[in-house]
Structure 1
């Protein structure tokens, strides 16, 4: 996959592969909340969880995949790209707890959004955001996404392993269309 982006501030992005399991284990070691998009999105990840997740998110398979945000050999976060309908893709992002609020997602999300429009030819990219997640709402606006709709009780809280026993909350859908005004990367 032709994905090797320089993001600025010493950061770069590249597709994550199964061999990156140790990086994912290290990155999620301090996570206590639902964090990543996978069969089991709660951290921290074991080596087995990381290998399973990365094998399911293989860029070579042509479906969903993860993009790592790195500084040197340290994984600071990840962006998931999940095709849904033809011409539409969900983008999700996660930053390791000790690196949050430092502008990392503000550099990565606009760059990867532009890359997906340009290189993958995806005309519509969308975010699913908990209405209570103020930092993500602000990031969506700064990255050039526009509010589209509210989906009642759509997103799982992951407070229980059993989906039937879990809590669900509303999600806000924000979209970015190809040809839309460029995103800003101001922190």
Structure 2
């Protein structure tokens, strides 16, 4: 059946090249995840705030290595792109930013993120989200990025706004967290 609209992004537009590393302000680097990052993932996921806003936890380095392997495959499968946010000088993992639920035909993805507790309140997350968003809506070829967070997660809302995401609405009872159903703010950036 012929399509009435040409796909915005073609198959192979991501997997046809290595996943890029992206510089961000403040001596940050967003790079693909490495298996050696597993200990930092486990340490970050011991944090009560990360556990509050995420649906899974990492209990062992073996489990974290499985996640990292999945994150690495996302680029080749063109369904996601995951970056470790690291300090340029020390290479310490400070957080994660990812594009998920990629829809190549429509040039769309959902952005998600977390910041390790040892890197909070320094603008790390908003700078990392801005860097990935700038790449995705420019060289990456995406048209629209959506960002969702619990309506009661003020820190995440602050990151979204600081990174240029406009709040478009509220998705009522949209995500089940460990403490019950949460309304979710929907933010977006478009090219």
Q: Which TM-score band applies after superposition, normalised by the shorter structure?
A: 0.7 to 0.9
Count of aligned pairs: 167
Structure 2 equivalent of residue 41 of structure 1: 56
Structure 1 equivalent of residue 76 of structure 2: 60
- The TM-score with structure 2 as length reference comes to 0.78
Structure 1 equivalent of residue 113 of structure 2: 93
Structure 1 residues not aligned, in runs of 5+: 160-166, 179-187
Describe how 1:128-143 pairs up with structure 2 within 5 A. Answer: 128-143=148-163
Q: Verify the 8 A CA contact 1:57 1:63 in the aligned structure 2.
A: no
Deviation by residue 1:144-171 (Cα, 9 ceiling, x = unmatched): 1111121111112135xxxxxxx21110
Q: Secondary structure at the match of 1:119?
A: coil
Structure 1 vs Structure 2 CA RMSD: 2.1
Deviation by residue 1:106-158 (Cα, 9 ceiling, x = unmatched): 21111110111123211000100111111221221221111112111111213
Deviation by residue 1:1-52 (Cα, 9 ceiling, x = unmatched): 2422221322211111445323323443x41242686xx522x541122112
- The TM-score with structure 1 as length reference comes to 0.79
Name which one, 1 or 2, has greater alpha-carbon Rg: 2
Which of 60, 70, 75 is equivalent to 2:93?
75
Structure 2 residues not aligned, in runs of 5+: 1-17
- Structure 2: distance between partners of 1:137 and 1:80: 17
- Structure 1: distance between partners of 2:67 and 2:92: 18
Which of 166, 177, 183 is equivalent to 1:146?
166
Describe how 1:1-187 pairs up with structure 2 within 5 A. Answer: 1-28=18-45, 30-32=46-48, 33-34=50-51, 41-42=56-57, 44-58=58-72, 59-71=75-87, 72-85=90-103, 86-159=106-179, 167-178=180-191
- Structure 2: distance between partners of 1:173 and 1:106: 16
